[in-house]
Each structure stands twice: as structure tokens, then as C-alpha cells.
Amino acid sequence: MALADNNGGAQGRAPLPKWLTGTVKTLGSIAVTMLGLVFITFIIGRVMPIDPVLAIVGERATKASYDAVYLQLGLDKPLIVQFFYYVRDVAQGNFGMSLLNARPVAEDIARVFPATLELASLGVIFGVVLGVPLGVVAAVRKGSWIDQVARVLALVGYSMPIFWLGLMGLLVFYGMLGWVGGPGRVGIFYEDVVPTVTGMLLVDSIIDGNWTVFKDAFSHIILPASLLGYYSLAYISRMTRSFMLEQLSAEYITTARVKGMSEWDVVWKHAFRNIRVQLITVIALSYAGLLEGSVLTEIIFSWPGIGSYITTALLAADMNAVLGGTVVVGLIFILLNIASDLLYKVFDPRAR
């Protein structure tokens, strides 16, 4: 009898709200993914043929100094304990000290990341504004010269090494024509003129109302952002064309045309509306790729972003900076995936 009462009470218990269940699942997947990323970076830091103690004390240090730093870093403890300490530090935003400048890695990343964010954001804006309409028109005019141009642009964007395009862009538009600013974020005369608010120079110059610095900063960012935008355009236009061709061949499009609906409504209100969710994923992946993959562009244009920071740290065997930057980039991918999932529910009621 008691068993029946217990079962009845369990059956009568109200189920958890769907939004709460979904939130718990999302947070759980984030935690598992981040834990896996932290585990991988921890293993990389341990298997690299670099002695972290020697990197700190130098090769001429005494054995007493070496042993003191060895104990301070906790390298005498079992790996599982070291991993626990590593997870604890990462959860607190502590990636250790940089060997290059003896500053906390978290502070360095907070200083350089806005430059990459500014560059990648402007690049993906170029890619979306130009790539989506180009892909739509190419699909609508399949086989025409517009379609051929779009396909050639996408092919060149995929095939040409971005470092070669960067060097040629500097040679032509900066060296020969003088249309754009040179390497760096801003001219030497305008460095540290605008107070740092967001770390993004264009935004900070607008906030400060200093349009001279804004103009100079824009002349420096326009070329590298255009190159990244071209890479993004190639991917976005190609995927947009593919999605649109699939929709335009569907029966509901034929029905809409038979009913006498205008071509504009058929293309934009019906076909394009049904590919918005797919485009969200494409744009999010493109944005994440620019944030992560702008290393060569930052090096060529002397852009002080996170890609350049990680590369410099890797060449100097500064593993704290390398692993800290890797964790931040992985976190960006996770956040962008969450943002795309939320946008799914905004544009597609069936996903709510």
C-alpha cells in the first residue's frame, strides 16, 4: 500500500517546464564541452617538449631556484591533481603569467582580443552584405553571367592564399596607390590619443568624437577587413546559392508562380525566408572562422590581435599564453553556437 502511494505521488508530480529543461541541457553541454577543451589544452601543455620551469628561471638558474619554481607550479603533484588545479584556475579566468612580459595572460588577452573582434566583425559584415545578395541573384539567374561571376569569385576566394592577397593588397593599395593606411591599427601620431572604452578603435573614436582618429583607423582596417570579408563572401555566397537553388526547385515555389505571385515575393518572401535558419549557421561558422583564422592577416598587417598574440607566444615557447588563447577561442565557438541556437527559435517557430 505504501508502494502504491509512493508511485501515485511520483506520477502526480508536475513535470519541469520545457524552458528549464532546455536551459539545464544547454548549460550541461557547455560545461562538458569546455571541460573537454580544457582537458585537451592541459594535455598539450604537458606533452610539449618545453620545460615550463626552465622557461621561467632560465637555463643558468641554480638547482635550488629550479626546485622552488617546480614546487610552486605544482609539478610535483600527480597529473590528476594538476588537472584539478588547472580547471580551477581556468574557471576563475586565471591562465597564469606570460613569460614574455610577466603580466597575467588574462589581461593580455583582454587587451588584444578587441582588435581581432573589430577586424573580424567588419569582415563578416562585408561578407554578409555582399555575399547573401550575390548568392541569391546567382541562384535566381542560374547559368547567366552573374552566376558565372559569383562562382568564379567564390572559387578564387577559396583558392588564393590569404597571405598572398594581403601582400599584394599592401603593395598595390598602400605602396603604389596610397589609398589605404599601412600596417598597424592607426598611424603613429594617433596612438593612445583616444581613451580606451571598448578596445575597438573605431568605436572608441566615435564615443570620443574624434573623427580624425576614426578616419585614420578606418584607412588602416579597411584593407585587412576587406580581405577577410572576401574570404567570408566566398563561403557565404556559395552556400546561399546552394540553399536557394534547393528552394527554388521546390513545388511550393512553382505553385506560387502559377498563382501569379511576383518574382520578388517568390524569391525573398518565400524561398529566402526558408533558408534563413541555414544561413544563421553559415554566418556563425564564418564569423567564428574569422575570429580564429585571422592569424596570417594579423601578422601581415601587424594587427595586434589575439591571433598575432598566440603566434608570438608560440614562437617564444610561452605556453601559458598559447593555451589561454586557445581556451578563449574555443569559448568563442561555443558562445556563437549558443547564439545561433537562440536565433533559430527567433526565425523558426517550429524550433521553439
For residue range 112-144, what is the model confidence (pLDDT) as tens digits? 999 999 999 999 999 999 999 999 999 988 888
- Domain 105-351 indexed as CATH 1.10.3720.10: yes
Is the pTM here over 0.75, yes or no?
yes
Which residues of the chain carry a pLDDT beneath 50?
1-5, 8-10
User: By CB neighbour count within 10 A (0-12 exposed, 13-18 middle, 19+ buried), where does 241 fall?
Assistant: buried
Structure confidence at residue 349 (pLDDT): 60
Written as nine digits, the cell of 7 is 508511485
Is residue 64 within 8 A of residue 286, CB to CB? The reply is no
Structure confidence at residue 129 (pLDDT): 93
SS3 97: strand
Q: What is the DSSP letter of 48?
A: S
Structure confidence at residue 70 (pLDDT): 77
Is residue 217 within 8 A of residue 227, CB to CB? The reply is no
Structure confidence at residue 55 (pLDDT): 67
SS3 196: coil
Return the closest-CA partner of residue 280 out of 351, 228, 342: 342
Amino acid found at 141: R
Distance in angstroms (rounded) separating the CA atoms of residues 264 and 120: 32
SS3 51: coil
Is residue 179 within 8 A of residue 173, CB to CB? The reply is yes
> Where do the structural domains in the chain lie, given as residue ranges?
19-91, 105-351
